[in-house]
Every structure is written in C-alpha cells, then in structure tokens.
Chains A and B, each alone.
Chain A
Amino acid sequence: MDWKALLASADGPPELAALRTAASAHFLDRGLPSTRDERWRYTDTNFLTQQELELLRPVIKADAPAGVRVRPLEEAADAAVPLLAAEADMTHPFRLLNTALLRDGLLVEVEDNAKPERELLLTITTTSGLAVPRLLVVVGENTQLTLVERYRTDGGTCLPVTQFSVGSGSRVEHLRIHHGSNDVHIGCVEVRQQRDSLVTNHLLTFGGRLVRNDLQFHLLGSGAEARLNGLYLADGEQHVDNHTTIEHAVPHCDSRETYRGILGGKASAVFNGRVHVHPDAQRTDAQQSNQNLLLTDDAIIHTKPELEIYADDVKCTHGATVGQLDREALFYLRSRGLAYDEARRMLVDSFAAEIVRRITDESLRDELAETVIARLPGMLAEAA
C-alpha cells in the first residue's frame, strides 16, 4: 500500500484542504500503529500495509425527522470547518487517515429547544475498498436526538469518525450498529457534553474480521452524564477491540459503562475502559463493568480497566468477569424440557439482552434482539 500516493489523490471541498493536508503530514510521519503501543497491543493493523486499498465513496442514506437538519459535508463545508478544526485529533492514526481523506459525510444539526418526533436513521453502506465517512452532530441546548448509525458492509475497510457536540440540558441516544463479517472497521466516536446533558451510547458489534472502536467522552459541564452500553459478538477468527475513554473534566458528573461480549470459535476481543478524573472533578460518580462469555476454549478476551483519578472526593467502581455458560442454569432449563441447544441459546441470549434492553425505542430494541438471536445458532454450533 502506497499511503503517500493514496493521500496525494485526496479530493474534496477546497474549504477542507488545509485540514486534509495537515492530517496527511501527521499520518505519513507516524504511520500505522505498532503493537508496541499499549493501545494497539492486541490489535495488529499492519496487514493493511500489504493491501492495495482503493478509496471508494460510502453510500450514506439519511432518514431525518422534522427539526433535524442534515446536510452533506460537501455542501456544508463552510459550517463544518470550524467544528472540525477545533476538535481535530492529530494522534489517532486512523482518525488522521479519515481527516486526511475528508470528503464524504454529514453535518447534522438540532436547534435549541427543538423536539424531533422520531429518530434520525443513518445507514452507511460500504463495499470493498477504503471508505472514510465523517459525521458531525451538533445538538443545541435543551433539545433531544436519537441517532441510529448503522454500518453495513460485505468487506473492505471502513474508518468512520463521528463527533458529537451536545449542548446544555440536552438528551442524546446514539446507537452505533455494525453488521460486518469479513471487513475491517476502525471507528472513532467523540462526544463533548455540556452542563446537565445526558448522552447514552449503545455500541453494538455483530462481528467483522477486525473491528476497533475508540470512544471518547468529554464531560465538560457539571451535571453531565454519559452512559456507555456495549455488546460485541464474534466468532471464527474475528477480532473486536473496544477502547473507551471518559474524561471527567469538571465536578458532579456521572458515567455508567456496561460492556458485554460473547465470543465463540477462535475469536478474540479487547476491552479497555479508561476513566480519567481530572483534579477539579470532585463528586465524580463513575461505574464500569465488562462481562464476557466465552463459548469455546479457543476464544480470548483481554479486558482492562484503567482508572486515573486525580480528585479525592469521587466514587469510582469497576469490575470485569470472564466466564462460560453456567452449568447449573443449563441443567435447570433442560430439566424443564428445553433441548440442550435451545437452553444454551436462551442463556446466551439473556446475557446479551441485558444490554439490548437498555435501548429506549421498542422497535429498535426488538429488531436488535432478533439480530442477536439470528447470530447465535451459528456461534453455538461452532462451539458445540
């Protein structure tokens, strides 16, 4: 892969050219992450260098309710530039790639006090090749938004970046759903929350050759709360890596993080949950849990909480578990007449349901519960 040639071929709105050039230089300087970098220790992306990736434009479909303004980045570049420039992360290699090739994406805006009647549905479809979609979501004050961001692919490499700016007193529910199989998906989500805002993120991964998600939550105003729910299912030789960071920058903020994983075959997964409580962030209440169900002896999970606390009046808890299907529960179900396979499916499904049930919208919840159920027989058959 000739990164230099790829980056030189970048094209798009002239307003974004300066950003692209700066990111391009940073990326070429750093290259792909090494597994000696702690954040990439279990996720080796260097095979990408062996591939010839052709830059392809993703197909982004938006179904927006009244009260939510959605514009393609190409048409809203003027408005997007200050947002992009102010929050440009020049350290994450794949976010740099996304910025260096910036062209396709959406600017989503919800005005102060708006009351959108339903959710904003975004479907991002990619095929083979390389796609770098960018979503900028600007939520005003005292308003609300439910955003469903859905990735569909049958291969290729997708490096999406989604940035939220959430105003005071607003509520956001964000679902990021990845339906992959043989693809590479390395995505970043960055959320900046002002005073008394509540952002609930549901990150649902149903497999992929290599999936990496970096989530960064910045709690910038007192009374802000972040809820991070995650579910990852992987089997075969799939690999899923979730790295989350919650920056408690000011006092009186809460974070609740609950991630669950189900791994079959020779799948591997990483959970790294960093909670950073800044010196001023007194009365922080941060809770984190990561639970994993391994269906086979060959499945691997690396789970690591990372608490950095520089304030003294805080409540921070974390816990991680790794286990197999409960034999007692399995026997209990079978003793009532449920076949072995059905009993196993019921137990695995109930483990996943603990995350899925947190989705507010009933039809989305039901749909995702079905998606989990549809995924299980294959995973369990492989593990039998």
Chain B
Amino acid sequence: MLEIRNLKAGIDGKTILKGIDLTVNAGEVHAIMGPNGSGKSTLAQIIAGREQFEVSSGSVKYDEKDLLELAPEERACAGIFMAFQYPVEIPGVSNSYFLRSALNSQRRARGEQELDAFEFLTFIQERMALLNLHEELLNRPVNEGFSGGEKKRNEIFQMAVLEPQLAVLDETDSGLDIDALRVVASGINSLRREDNATIVVTHYQRLLNYVVPDFVHVLVDGRIVRSGDQQLALDLEEHGYDHIIAQAA
C-alpha cells in the first residue's frame, strides 16, 4: 500500500529525515517510535502532504502512485488520513458542516453520490457512538474550545467518518488521560480492517498496549535504527531510547 524508499527531507534547509525505508501493507499496524526531534512527526506530515517540507531525494509510493506529486486534498481523496498532533481550531465552521463537506468532497472524487444532510446525520450518529461523543459537539465550531482530549477524540471521529485506507496517527495519545486513551484506542481498533492500514506515531509505549502493532520501528535522528514486533516497544519502555541507540551504534 505504502512504499517509502530512501526518503530524505527537511525544512528551511535543515535535513530531518536522512533516508527512510518503510513498507506498509493492507491489514497491518505499524508503530513508529522515537525520541523528541527524531523526525516522527515530519514523516507523518510528509505523508499527509504538508507543503513546508522539502523532499530532497527518495520516493513515496501509495497504491503505485507517486504520493509526493499529489496535493493534500488529492491524498485525502485517495484514502490517506492524518490525525493531527495539534488539531487546528476553525472558528465559525461547525464540525458537522466541515465533516459533511469533507466527506462529500471525497465521495465526489471517488464518483460516489453525495450524502444529503439527513443521510449524513444518520451515518455519523452511529460513528459518534463509537467514540462516546455528544451530539452537541457536531454543532460546535471545529475544535474551538475543545479540551485536549476532545480534540483527539474528534480526530479519531473524523477518521471513523472518512474511513481512510491508510491512517497516520501523529501522537494521538499525547495529552490523553487513561480513560480517554481507552476510548480513542477502542475507536481505532474498531476501524481496523483487512483492507486498511494504520501508522501510529508515538513517543510512549502506552497506546500500544491497546492498539497492538504488527511492526515497531525506532526512529532516531532521521533514520530507522531498529524494527521489530511489539516486544521492541516493551524493551524501549523498560530500557529507554538511549539503550537502543547505543545498541544500534
């Protein structure tokens, strides 16, 4: 589904990713872990299409397409979704209007019928139940005045509505208390299917107790220094990043 080859990229002339190789197939969950500043979020944002980052070499293929050629909205319509580490507040735009516009935009791109207001409401009510969200949240402006936990839940709610093929969760666990973490994790798990894939970007192993990855990659200074299964995450939790970095060196 996703094939990243020798990806080098940076921002403002500073190199952050120094040659990333990563293959993600349908049905898989990958965790990308690493200390602060290792390039985890940069990788997530490049997949989502943030234009500030410059790719100097390498390739990113998504379903045989050159992902780097696509605009952010084209990537979304092709089935890519990133849950933001810092979801953006958009005053004056209601959550439901925003989400219906986004969903219909994606449906149009796929040649599907748009949903009218009633069909949309029926559809999302079931999705809201997944994440324990109150209906009043639909009428509030996107993320405005939301608590940290509500923002993160709102990200996964959007994911539940948009049903991406490849979801990239950028530090979705940060700022969540244990109850909110459980709700978010069960939401993510209920969306797992044979034909989709998830990349979980996280600093801590905590979320991975609930969302169990098939592969764990450790990113240090712009390179993946170790890959393994869930055990690697547990080792990291026990010994810390320094230990892994020392081993890799």
Contact = CB atoms under 8 A, between A and B. Distances in A.
A338 B101 contact: yes
A82 interface: no
A337 B106 contact: yes
Interface in A146-172: none
Given A333-B98, A335-B82, A342-B101, A328 B88 contact: yes
Given A331-B50, A342-B101, A353-B92, A337 B87 contact: no
Contacts of B50: 331
Contacts of B82: 335
Contact of B162 (A326, A334, A336, A340): A336
A329 B105 contact: no
A351 B91 CA distance: 8
A159 B82 CA distance: 54
A91 interface: no
Interface in A251-293: none
B114 interface: no
Contact of B105 (A331, A342, A347, A349): A342
Given A342-B101, A346-B101, A354-B91, A335 B48 contact: yes
A310 interface: no
Interface string B82-126: 101001111111000011011101100100000000000000000
A165 B77 CA distance: 57
Interface string A336-363: 1111101100110111011000000000
B73 A338 contact: yes
Contacts of A343: 73
A336 B92 contact: no
Chain A interface residue bracket vs B = 20 to 34
B108 to A, nearest CB: 9
B12 to A, nearest CB: 15
A300 B81 CA distance: 38
Nearest to A350: B92
Contacts of B101: 338, 342, 346
A336 B102 contact: yes
A326 B90 CA distance: 9
A340 B73 contact: yes
A335 B98 CA distance: 12
Nearest to B77: A337
A338 B71 contact: no
B49 interface: yes
B97 to A, nearest CB: 8
B72 interface: yes
Contact of A334 (B73, B84, B103, B141): B73
Please classify the interface of chain A as helix (H, G, I), strand (E, B), loop, or mixed, using the class held by over half of its residues.
helix
A337 B105 contact: yes
Interface size class of B (residues with CB under 8 A): 20 to 34
Nearest to A343: B73
Contacts of A336: 76, 81, 98-99, 102, 105, 158, 162
Most buried by B among A328, A334, A339, A346: A334
A334 B92 contact: no
A354 B77 CA distance: 30
B169 to A, nearest CB: 13
B105 A332 contact: no
Nearest to A357: B92
Interface string B132-167: 000000000100000000000000001000100000
A332 B88 contact: yes
B70 to A, nearest CB: 11
Given A331-B50, A335-B48, A340 B92 contact: no
A335 B103 CA distance: 12
A341 to B, nearest CB: 10
B92 A337 contact: no
A339 B87 CA distance: 19
A346 B90 CA distance: 10
A337 B93 contact: no
A337 B102 CA distance: 5
A162 B63 CA distance: 65
A329 B103 CA distance: 17
B92 A351 contact: yes
Contacts of B71: 334, 340
A350 B90 contact: yes
Looking at A329, A337, A347, A350, the one whose CB has the most chain B CB atoms below 10 A away is A337
B52 to A, nearest CB: 8
Given A331-B50, A331-B72, A332-B84, A338 B102 contact: yes
A339 B48 contact: no
Given A346-B98, A350-B93, A334 B72 contact: yes
Contacts of A340: 71, 73
A329 B98 CA distance: 12
Contacts of A350: 90-93, 141
A331 B88 CA distance: 9
B44 to A, nearest CB: 11
B48 to A, nearest CB: 5
B90 A347 contact: yes
Contacts of A328: 88
Contact of B93 (A334, A335, A339, A346): A346
Contacts of A338: 73, 101-102, 105
Interface of A: 326, 328-329, 331-340, 342-343, 346-347, 349-351, 353-354
Which 6 pairs show the lowest CB-CB distances between chains A and B?
A: A350-B92, A337-B76, A336-B102, A334-B72, A332-B88, A337-B106
6 contacts: A331-B51, A336-B102, A337-B102, A337-B103, A337-B162, A354-B91
Given A334-B72, A336-B158, 4 more contacts: A331-B50, A334-B73, A335-B84, A342-B105
